[in-house]
Structure 1
Amino acid sequence: MNVFFDALPEFLGALGATVAMGLGALIVRKLRGTRPALMPPAAPTVDLSKPTARRFTLLETTHISGKSVQITTARPAGTVITYRFDDRTERFEPTDIPLHDGTFAAEPVGRYR
């Protein structure tokens, strides 16, 4: 039991020093009037208040060469766009989902397999 009572003053001293440093840092921050810097967002944010052209990859659609079809449009996500192939047209809905290559996904609308 003596071991605990002998260590008590050192523990209380360390606890008091920690509290004093925390209060000191808080007072300095209040006097400066600044806040700690926030962490940057994990994904790039897109300002949707003004239209900007974005590149979309049409999902489940490929060229004859085997590469995926990409288009550029300024239409916002949720609208329906029409893409014309050689002899047919298909409708796609642009989304706000970023893909690994930096483009956004455009999902086919009304396509049944």
Structure 2
Amino acid sequence: MNVFFDALPEFLGALGAAVAVGLATLIARKLCGTRLALMSPSRPTGDLSAPAARRFTLLETAQMNGGTVQITTTRPAGTVITYRSDDRIERFELTDIPLHDGSFAAEPVDRYR
């Protein structure tokens, strides 16, 4: 009986360490999984979960400081969106064409003054 009581602290220590490692792994997977799902450019076919947000660069459009205009949306490729700048309304079609900065191209459809 003494053998079991002598081994009890080592057993409880090993059990506690296993629980701590398991919780740390679970938290790491949850954090990485959430971050990867938000930045993923496309979903696997058959995935019925919420669509992933993607960043689009509006081609031939610039901000006042000369930077590119980028938007983030969950809309699928082929959707036409309306972008309003200071004095004009522009329509862009979202595409699946990746750009060098990791965003996708949004091509101008027509422009109104």
Q: Displacement of 1:69 after TM fit?
A: 0.4
Q: Counting helix residues as a fraction of each chain, which structure ranks higher? A: 2
What letter is aligned with 1:93?
E
The total of aligned residue pairs comes to 69
TM-score for both structures, normalised by structure 2 = 0.55
Matches within 5 A, 1:53-72: 53-72=53-72
**Which of the two has higher C-alpha Rg?**
1
- Matched residues in 1 for 2:94 and 2:86: separation? 21
TM-score for both structures, normalised by structure 1 = 0.55
In the alignment, structure 1 residue 47 sits paired with structure 2 residue 35: no
- Matched residues in 2 for 1:64 and 1:100: separation? 22
- Which sections of structure 1, spanning at least 5 residues, go unmatched? 1-43
Instruction: Provide the aligned C-alpha RMSD in A.
Output: 2.1
Partner of 2:88: 88
Residues 52-110 of structure 1 deviation map (CA, whole Å, 9 limit, x = unaligned): 21100000000111111000111100010001101221000010011000100000002
Q: 1:87 to 1:61 in 2, by over 3 A?
A: same
- 1:87 aligned counterpart, secondary structure: coil
Partner of 2:7: none
Q: Displacement of 1:45 after TM fit?
A: 6.6
